[in-house]
Structure 1
Amino acid sequence: MNDMTPVETTLKDWETDQEVRWCPGCGDYAILKAVQRTLPKLGADPKNTVFVSGIGCSSRFPYYVESYGFHTIHGRAPAVATGVKLANPDLDVWIVTGDGDGMSIGGNHTMHVLRRNLDCQILLFNNEIYGLTKGQASPTSRLGTRSPTTPAGSYDRPAKACAFALGAGARFVARGFDVSKKLPEVLEAAYRHKGAAFVEIYQNCIVYNKDVFDGFAAPKGAEDHQLWLENGEPMLFAGSTKGISLNRDTLRLEVVDVVDGDWKSAGVIVHDVTNRSVAHMLVEIPFPEFPKALGVLYDDPRPTFEGEVAAEKARLSEGKEPNLAALLSKGQSWKVEESGPVEL
């Protein structure tokens, strides 16, 4: 997020003339529309907005948003985005990646952009599969996933994207899913955060991992299995008939029943987005024993990477006049004296 004056736009201003090409029914369509509907609400300016992607189905994104964009190489979107932001800190920079692109070959780049706290929004589309390369198991695929690379079922323990982000030092971590009406709220919160904002978006791959998230993300009937977190509000779900409590003896989260709306007597805890320890617990609780924790899990800003770079540059250049000639002649240098012709 930058501090530039908001501009008025509509959804149409963010749509390109390019044909959107994903498989029919792909969750990426819903995410694209959620982003395009959110940008006008933010007052974002297409002329100051940059989408950077790596490789994968999600990485087609820059072609479909009427702004600047880079379609980079596999896993390296954070590196390019860092260069963009350092070159012009006033730009709104969005990184679009997938569970394969961002958690496998690009895992180290994702880690470093988070720990550095570059001011950008990172949207990680998680469909738990390699979709573009025809359905191989990805770092987030569940145990037992059958795919061309795991025909007898995957035995790899899946990576948890939000746990990874918290472990890498991210100061903003959130979750949503493709068809959720609340996804724009999550995107807006990420944009308002000053620093690296990591948003995991569960995305249905209609071809290679169809309906794998239906337990909590089905268009109808899954609401009772969603825990939408709001700062300062009790952790309630299932129509406020159930909640999340912290067992003081075991220091573990538990599901409790809420009778007559009395969540305090049930011991339901209030969400505090600055509580990193509880955020870790929320990303680790197993589904379906617990509801899926969604919304903003953690939000605690700190100085940004590009801000620190600018401050250091200002400090080192204070009181100094730019003089390229003096710089070139400083230190070990020599002068070639003019001489007459050399006899051979």
Structure 2
Amino acid sequence: MNDMTPIATKPKDWETDQEVRWCPGCGDYAILKAVQRTMPEIGARPENTVFVSGIGCSSRFPYYMETYGFHTIHGRAPAVATGVKLANPDLDVWIITGDGDALSIGGNHTMHLIRRNLDCQVLLFNNEIYGLTKGQYSPTSRVGTQSPSTPFGSVDRPANPCAFALGSGARFVARGIDVHKNLVGVLKAAYAHKGTSFVEIFQNCIVYNDDVFAPFTDKKQGADQNQLWVEDGKPLVFAGATKGLALDRDRLALKVVAADDPDVIVHDKTNRTVAHLLVEMPFGEFPMALGVIYEDPAPTFESAVVAQNEQASAGKKPDLAKLLAKGQTWMVEKEPHAV
């Protein structure tokens, strides 16, 4: 068993000697710093921590964390992370991925990771574009997005990462913003959850999709009016606590009301139905829901695998020779030489 005792570290202890190579102004820098600030606050141990990534700008992450790490292949970080966790369930496993890596070629792997409920943290950097391959549209790009692969504008309906996670059976779904002070709190909540913690982080791509999230991230464009930071047990209010969300019972949908309306919903993070409504609110009519939107723990995949293996091996002694000889085996006898 690994030593799980929390230790005292500083954010600097989690930095490597590698040159951080993202475009100047990229939101990935802010996320990296937020993660490095989070590690000391959760008492994590570098030798007990593993970062696994796929392919994309975000997937450089393992190089910049003073931990164990795997920079794997496109979309397959969940498969490698599953192997790591099954081999040593005591490890803290973090998956770093992007909207293209996780939801395009990796969509199948992401779905199965979530439904299995492996104990890990998935940080999906969503910039609604393929940045590493020079700006093609991604699964989360909006209708009308012009890019080298959609010069006349995308006609695809975009994927909603949090709705995808909930539909795959996620037990923890949260959202954050790359440069927001609350991101560390979201990451700490994700780490505290036992099971797959899915966190969508809105990340600005300054080169290929700059300011796509500005209406709810830029203070000059009214970010304070358009962010709804949910908190368990607190009313769903926003816009300086002047507006709130209530249930339109005729349509079974959300509606915006005055904050003092008696029907304003009190956030219950275990309510999956309301979580679906929150992550699918059309921005513009509604604010952007942020924070821990859904959490309802369930047994983890690796704990079930370990328990099953222990039950199967109870009272038995390991015998490799017997194992190899089991089943359809035969002995090849040496034939005598012909006279």
SS at match of 2:229: strand
Conservation of the 8 A alpha-carbon contact between 1:257 and 1:266: no
Whole-Å Cα distance in 2 between the matches of residues 173 and 334 of structure 1? 54
Q: Does 1:313 align with 2:309?
A: yes
Q: Which residue of 2 aligns with 1:214?
A: 214
Give me the whole-angstrom Cα distance separating, in 1, the residues matched to 2:3 and 2:265. Answer: 35
SS at match of 1:17: coil
Q: Which residue of 2 aligns with 1:232?
A: 233
Structure 2 equivalent of residue 297 of structure 1: 293
Question: Could you tell me which amino acid in structure 2 is paired with residue 84 of structure 1?
Answer: V
Residue in 2 aligned with 1:244?
245
CA apart distance, 1:246: 0.8
Correspondences of 1:1-344 after superposition (within 5 Å): 4-220=4-220, 221-258=222-259, 263=260, 265-337=261-333, 342-343=337-338
Partners of 2:75 and 2:171 lie apart in 1 by: 21
The number of residues matched between the two structures is 337
Give CA deviations for 1:133-169 in whole Å, capped at 9, x if unaligned. Answer: 0000000000111101111111100000000000011
| Alpha-carbon distance between aligned partners in 1 of 2:188 and 2:103, rounded to the nearest angstrom | 24
User: Which region of structure 1 is more displaced relative to structure 2, 244-253 or 218-227?
Assistant: 218-227
CA distance in 2 between counterparts of 1:201 and 1:338 reads: 67
How far apart, CA to CA, are the structure 1 residues paired with 2:284 and 2:16? 40
In structure 2, the residue corresponding to 1:164 is in which secondary structure?
A: helix
Structure 2 unaligned residues grouped into runs of 5+ = none
Q: Secondary structure at the match of 2:331?
A: coil
Identity of aligned residues (%): 73
Judge conservation of contact 1:145–1:153 (CA < 8 Å) in 2.
yes
Unaligned runs of 5+ in 1: none
Q: Which runs of 4+ in 1 moved over 6 A?
A: none
How far, CA to CA, are the matches of 2:334 and 2:145 in structure 1?
76
1:91-135 deviation line (CA, Å, top 9, x unaligned): 000000000110101000000100011100000000000000000
Q: 1:225 to 1:3 in 2, by over 3 A?
A: farther
Root mean square deviation, CA, Å: 1.4
When normalised by structure 1's length, the TM-score is 0.95
> For 1:219 and 1:72, how far apart are their aligned partners in 2?
37
Q: Deviations over 1:280-332 (max 9, x none)?
A: 00011100110000001110110111001001101111111111122222333
Q: Post-superposition shift, 1:267?
A: 1.3
Could you report, residue by residue, the CA deviation over 1:199-236 in whole angstroms, capped at 9, with x for unpaired residues?
Answer: 00000000000001000011554111000000011001
User: Could you tell me which amino acid in structure 1 is paired with residue 89 of structure 2?
Assistant: P
